[in-house]
Structure 1
Amino acid sequence: MGKKRLKHRSLFLLGGQPGSGKTSLRSAIAEETQGNVIVIDNDTFKQQHPNFDELVKLYEKDVVKHITPYSNRMTEALINRLSDQGYNLVIEGTGRTTDVPIQTATMLQSKGYETKMYVMAVPKIESYLGTIERYETMYADDPMTARATSKQAHDIVVKNLPTNLETLHKTGLFSDIRLYDRKGTKLYSSIETPAISPKPTLERELNRKVLGKEIQPTLQRIEGKMVQNQHQGTPEFQAIHQKLESLQLPPPPSSNTPKIPGL
């Protein structure tokens, strides 16, 4: 594994709505730990289910909910084993609830861990487009196992995350809570401003107005992938195509084309 066990070890819990780019948080943590950290990512265990191929044939696009209990058990087992051995750990989540972060932080603190939480602060339209792009990329690779995220599931996290993060801040369980944008810029640290909740900064970023030209490259990438996957008939494609046209031409008087909220 190439990682060292430590007397003073840290747990990093990651948070952020689907599509926000939580993987980029690993760079900041790798720099902080000089690379001496193990990432536990629930998603990586899903395709390791012993009956994965059979379940894909049986359930097709619904396979994820049938293999998640297995990946959850794998994640819990790894957390227990590696924390007993004293490794720095990164555990990815969303922040949709407070129960799991509190339970995990409490358990690892009892084993001598310093617990931290790093969260992505990304405008909701950017992260929602991120879920679409991720799905189209995965679909091109394997349509049966492409992981779709509904807008409803995305928006639930967007709605709950600021308040949940404030709740976690108040518990005092975390030595540092940080907010990062997609460029890797730190927007907030509870060490630097312990009396200030992360909630206002996160809400401001989630609801920040994004200019069309800022998301134009993303829209163009997604449109190209949707054409490749022959998804031109979906409401999402029509909304993205219409938005791209509006960035190049004077807007039409009216349109009945379905619209993605925020575009």
Structure 2
Amino acid sequence: MSTLMQKDVLIEAVANAKAISINKHQGKHPASKRLGQLRNIIYLSSPQQIDFNEILQEINLLKETLLSLPDLSLHNELTGDMLILSKFEEAWKQMLEDNPQIKKSDNLKAFLLGGQPGAGKSFGAKQALHQLNNNIVVINGDEFRALHPEYEEIYKQHGKDASKYTGEFAGIMVHLFRERALKEKLNIVIEGTFRTTETPIRELTNFKKHGYSVDLIICTCPQEVSLDSTFERAEGHKKIGIQPRYVPPEHHDLVVDKLPQNVSEVFNTGLVDKLEIYSREGKCFDSTTNNPDEIAQRIYQILHATDSY
């Protein structure tokens, strides 16, 4: 059994180990294949179904195996954009090899996830995966951070602020993954925060232009709970020996402040086919049955409903 944030820690632990496979071009190795399987298991499972210590132990053993393998890549000979593109191509190739169930879709579907940091957006990814029988590309920018060419050096220099310096690289990888998935006509689930309306509206417009139907899944919870969860997750990273990803409280609070109105505004563009809002207690809004005029109010109530948690 695990907590919601321990599930997030495991997702990033897999990504951290998988980065070794990608950097060394060792995707064919059984250890790399098993990491791909574990990623799917973690995403598809509820925290209650996950044995945190057992899975972490296996991840660490697989990581040790990958560290002992030779480097088959040409990364050392590349710099700048060419290095980023090389990492992307290898990451994309390994993702498809690890997920043979991902196929071109005749009924293109995209899911846009939103919610403040620490709210538990991996739950939204699980919902999307189950809906499409795992035939979907999950794009989570945090999983790309460990691929940064100077990942270790950045943490040594900047410590708790390291995520500020890997964010741009992660964003580039998200862009490359999304554009390739669009080109290949694959179903997509992608995370965001809804700190602004411009980014989700741009994503929605792009999906619609490519013929996708788009569902919006918002995961939220009381602001005190999510803020505590960001610290729990970062300390969880630190405890298992990977770089802790701390979320500045001011960034968390800004998203909390903007989330209710921004989600309402984005839905009212008419670009969203369906909106679902989840608290940690379950679904609390569905645009097919509930009044869209209540969107902002529902989210606000969850963000400030500490009594029931």
Give the TM-score taking structure 2 as reference length: 0.65
Q: Is the 8 A contact 2:120 2:220 kept in 1?
A: no
Cα distance in 1, alignment partners of residues 160 and 223 from structure 2? 25
Where do 5+ consecutive residues of structure 1 fail to align?
A: 215-263
Please show how residues 63-212 of structure 1 align to structure 2 within 5 Å. 63-142=162-241, 145-183=243-281, 185-193=282-290, 195-210=292-307
Identify which of structures 1 and 2 has the higher relative contact order when contacts are C-alpha pairs closer than 8 Å and 6+ apart: 1
Q: Is the 8 A contact 1:123 1:210 kept in 2?
A: no
Please show how residues 217-256 of structure 1 align to structure 2 within 5 Å. none
**Shift >4 Å, 4+ stretches:** none
* 1:146 shift after superposition: 0.8
1:128/1:195 Cα in 2 relative to 1: closer, same or farther (>3 Å)?
closer
Q: Is the 8 A contact 2:216 2:274 kept in 1?
A: yes
Moved more, 45-54 or 170-179: 45-54
| Percent identity between the two aligned chains | 29
* 1:75 shift after superposition: 0.6
Asked if 1:15 is matched to 2:141, the reply is no
Deviations along 1:21-76, one digit per CA (max 9) or x if unpaired, are: 11111221122112211100001111101222232233333222222111111110
Q: Is the 8 A contact 1:169 1:197 kept in 2?
A: no
* 1:150 shift after superposition: 2.4
Cα distance in 1, alignment partners of residues 104 and 121 from structure 2? 25
* SS of residue in 2 equivalent to 1:13: strand
Structure 1 or 2, whichever has the larger Rg, is 1
1:83/1:170 Cα in 2 relative to 1: closer, same or farther (>3 Å)?
same
Deviations along 1:165-205, one digit per CA (max 9) or x if unpaired, are: 1101110110011101224x221111223543411111111
What letter corresponds to residue 273 of structure 2 in structure 1?
A: S
* SS of residue in 2 equivalent to 1:171: coil
Q: Is the 8 A contact 1:175 1:191 kept in 2?
A: no
Q: Is the 8 A contact 2:162 2:245 kept in 1?
A: no
More helix by proportion, 1 or 2? Answer: 2
Where do 5+ consecutive residues of structure 2 fail to align?
A: 1-95
